Structure 1
Amino acid sequence: MVFAPPHTVFVILSFEGPDVYSQAGGLGVRVKGLSRALAQIGYQTYLYFCGDPDLPGEESHESGRLVYRRWCQWISARHRGGVYDGEEEKIRDWNTSLPPSLIDNVIAPAVEAGRNVVVMGEEWHTSWSMNLLSETLYYRGLRDRVVMLWNANNTFGFHRINWSALALAATITTVSRYMKFKIWERGHNPIVIPNGIPRASIQDADPEAVADVKAAAAADHFCFKIGRFDPDKRWLIAVSAVGYLKRHGKRVRLLIRGGREPHGGEVISHAQHQGLKVIHINSPAEPAELAAVLRQHPEADVVNLTSFVSDAMLGVIYPACDAVLANSGHEPFGLVGLEVMAAGGLAVTGATGEDYAVSYRNALVLETDDAIELVTELNLIQQRPRLAAAIRRRGRVTARAYVWQKVIEQLLLRVEYAAAQQAVRLPEVGSEYLRPARRRTRKPETSIG
């Protein structure tokens, strides 16, 4: 292994991060899982992100191998609405203050200690800082010891990126073949490295809690949808399908968790016009509380969870539901679908960036924006429970192929290519870090006669 843990430091730059304040979508989940997995493998890892202003500026995890550095906190203290509140001011502060601090406090000491550094920038917010970082490293004579990758998780902000400058500063990567095509349209050919999920997410929730929530729903179709209130997530199609099923005599319960986006008002209004009864509640902390809410409000067709839903709760909700509606029309990767598979749930995905999803094998894949297609698929899994069970089993198998430890194996091989592309001097790796070839020993031949 060229970039072995003793010789390599990883740095991840991302506006989103592990704090509740810092999570607005899949990016925060991605960097949280990736940084923790790198540290668990043995890499010294630094995660820079726009963190909660009330938490420490620096925080260590994984026996000191993972260091959180919360940036722009003085701005976040005046913008309490989440990571993208005060976005432009944070970008300016990030570009001005982060590159020199990163070089002085992480990169220069690592190079002096004989290590190489891998810097991974995430999304358009970090594109300018990647350029500034590369230029400063050249000026200080350190550029040939740093591998720089910039990753696109979505098309947000593409119009603001100086693509030619970014391609000179870093090797461009993305998370799916669908996103690769989107970047082709900008004149560049990125490397695809998929997203991953924590190994710990592949586990069975308490079966009693799952059964209790499912029984409390008391529905022919019990579904869940989580994500930003964004038209690309096809919320209106999901709600239309639920309304259709109700008008045709089916008992339907739809749990939803969106964000603060304006489209949320349109979603709720559309549900009401579909004849659906909507209630709004704070997200329960325990499965028993959710089951109690469902029993107390049997008239509610749509239950809108208005606050953060913990990973532990999601681990119960996913398998308790008949289907989790991750039916986006534009999905760069579709991390929710993988998380559903890992928890033993049944994912309904779109057909864009979800490279891992194969219809009727490990998921239900919607090919159109027609609500009737979703209605048909929901009826299918109700009428064919053995098929639904098989999809859940195969989904779990798929999830195991995307745990972060396996994705990082791909990442490290791509880092070697990026290092060659950027003329980075490689560390001198001792023989103890090279995997020895297996020797086959011949069995002694037995004598005959």
Structure 2
Amino acid sequence: MIELEGAISPENTLFVLLCFEGPDVYSTAGGLGTRVTELSEALATQGYTTHLIFIGDPYKPPVEHRVDGRLILKRWSQWVSKYYPNGVYDGEEQKLYDYNESVPQHIYENIARPAVEQGKLVVIMGEDWHTAEVMCRISDLLHWFGIRQRVLMLWNLNSLMSLHRINWGRLSYVTTLCTVSKYMKHKMWELGVNPLVIPNGIPARHLAPVDPAIATRLREIARQGDSRRLFLFKIGRFDPDKRWMMAIEAVARLKHSGHPVTLFVRGGIEPHGAEVLSHAYHRGLVIRDVIAQRPTLEQCIEAVANAGPADIYNLRFFLPEEFVRSIYHAADATLANSGHEPFGLVALEVMAARGIAVTGCTGEDYAISFENAIVTETDDPDEIVGYLLHLGRHPEEQERIRCAGFRTAEQFLWDQVIENLISKLEFLARKQNIVLK
């Protein structure tokens, strides 16, 4: 048995995070990249040596140290990525093969064996289906060399994609399965497994106050001279699961019933986007594309202000974090009304900016309707319409929801999530006969 002084701490434990996505623009396609970037930084900030092995930008350094050297970024399969310039999932199968073949030996020789020889505990965490096979191979290799019992291995599920490719019996035998919400836990019950729930988190910087002058300018632009005009925002991939059609139809019904709306939209490059905007056009909504090249906050605001009157502003450029948070705060509501949402990170970010989130009712365990958010339980656009009109008639509720949402966001900072994670790890260490003194 490995014996450690005290509980799990930065002095006796190091982390290895495995994920296809990561902090590079090349490596980020959605919330998964945000999750591993923020989690790895938070662990390193707390003092833990943390290795993040991901499919990185082929033209950046293969190894990069951040957070005073405690966060080690390892850009994997760069030689493959050079042939596939269109992001992390371009050439996906080729990258997956290389990742599975080469990562296990690296972890054993360069991370796990030296750490175990120093008496340290190694925690390896894999994310989503891309890492299921490599986690199994790592476990087999560590077992072969006699150190598997000194390593904790967790595999986390963030989405329901490609689950048919996973050997659940093997994966659940060699790792502890985890997921990010009770909703996802119940989804995994259907697969015959019972994971631990360790939620997502947000960085502390998201709690910083939004500049009120910026928020006022955004509201003035969105109101277009009409103080009655609702200001809404929706951001996310153009995926049917995000219920874009429900949101667009709600905006159209509000407009045609005498309640004008300005909707800021930031989608992706998915084909569903054409269907969404076509529906908006045929429902009589005026759409303006807003284009900019890597703009600053001020340039973002100017681009929208100069676009001309519209019902929908289609923001076709990368949105700086400060701009997004300013919109969250300034808008009357952000429509995060997904029909399937494993966790709901956008809604939590809205709460942190003292905004009002309209959520679905799947993975958003933290959302309580008309307490800290607005929760939709159907795909009926009139549900959104009714709730927004109710808020308009009761402005005192708006402020109460914003304040309660902010208090909720404070409970989901990465520091709090890591405390939850460490408690789970200490439980797993006891099960594995690792003595924590």
Equivalent runs, 1:386-405 vs 2, <5 Å: 386-405=396-415
The TM-score, its normalising length taken from structure 2, stands at: 0.95
Report if aligned partners of 2:127, 2:156 keep a CA contact under 8 Å in 1.
yes
**Counterpart position of 2:3:** none
Matched residue type, 2:194: N
Matched residue type, 1:222: F
Deviations 1:106-152 (A, max 9, x none): 11111112111000000000000000000000001110111000000
Q: Distance in 2 between matches of 1:73 and 1:345?
A: 40
Report if aligned partners of 1:10, 1:44 keep a CA contact under 8 Å in 2.
yes
**Counterpart position of 2:189:** 184
Which of the residues 258, 262, 276 maps onto 1:267? 276
Matched residue type, 1:196: G
**Counterpart position of 1:46:** 51
Report if aligned partners of 2:300, 2:323 keep a CA contact under 8 Å in 1.
no
Report if aligned partners of 1:48, 1:69 keep a CA contact under 8 Å in 2.
yes
Superposed displacement of residue 235, structure 1: 0.6
1:306 corresponds to 2:316: yes
**Counterpart position of 1:15:** 20
Q: 261-270 vs 351-360, which deviates more? A: 261-270
Identity %: 49
**Counterpart position of 2:369:** 359
**Counterpart position of 2:258:** 249
Q: Distance in 1 between matches of 2:133 and 2:117?
A: 26
Superposed displacement of residue 200, structure 1: 1.4
Q: Distance in 1 between matches of 2:55 and 2:319?
A: 21
Q: Distance in 1 between matches of 2:291 and 2:33?
A: 22
* Residue correspondences, number: 427
Q: Distance in 2 between matches of 1:44 and 1:54?
A: 25
Aligned Cα RMSD in Å?
Answer: 1.4
Deviations 1:360-397 (A, max 9, x none): 00000001000010111121222221101110000000
Superposed displacement of residue 157, structure 1: 1.3
Deviations 1:292-321 (A, max 9, x none): 333323322211222322212212111011
Q: Distance in 1 between matches of 2:350 and 2:339?
A: 18
**Counterpart position of 2:249:** 240
Matched residue type, 1:175: V
Superposed displacement of residue 279, structure 1: 2.1
Report if aligned partners of 1:285, 1:313 keep a CA contact under 8 Å in 2.
no
Which of the residues 255, 278, 286 maps onto 2:287? 278
Q: Distance in 1 between matches of 2:230 and 2:300?
A: 17
Equivalent runs, 1:9-408 vs 2, <5 Å: 9-218=14-223, 220-282=229-291, 285-408=295-418
- CA distance 1:195–1:75, shift in 2 (3 Å): same
Report if aligned partners of 2:232, 2:262 keep a CA contact under 8 Å in 1.
yes
Q: 303-312 vs 36-45, which deviates more? A: 303-312
Q: Distance in 2 between matches of 1:294 and 1:171?
A: 47
Superposed displacement of residue 89, structure 1: 1.0
Instruction: List alignment gaps of at least 5 residues for structure 2.
Output: 1-5
Matched residue type, 1:415: L
Deviations 1:6-37 (A, max 9, x none): 00000111111111221111111111111111
Which of the residues 1, 8, 11 maps onto 1:6? 11
> Runs in 1 of length 4+ with deviation above 4 angstroms?
none
SS in 1 for 2:317: coil
Larger radius of gyration: 1
SS in 2 for 1:64: coil
Instruction: List alignment gaps of at least 5 residues for structure 1.
Output: 430-449
Q: Distance in 2 between matches of 1:287 and 1:363?
A: 27
Report if aligned partners of 1:237, 1:370 keep a CA contact under 8 Å in 2.
yes
Report if aligned partners of 2:290, 2:307 keep a CA contact under 8 Å in 1.
no
Superposed displacement of residue 424, structure 1: 5.1
Matched residue type, 2:186: F
The TM-score, its normalising length taken from structure 1, stands at: 0.92
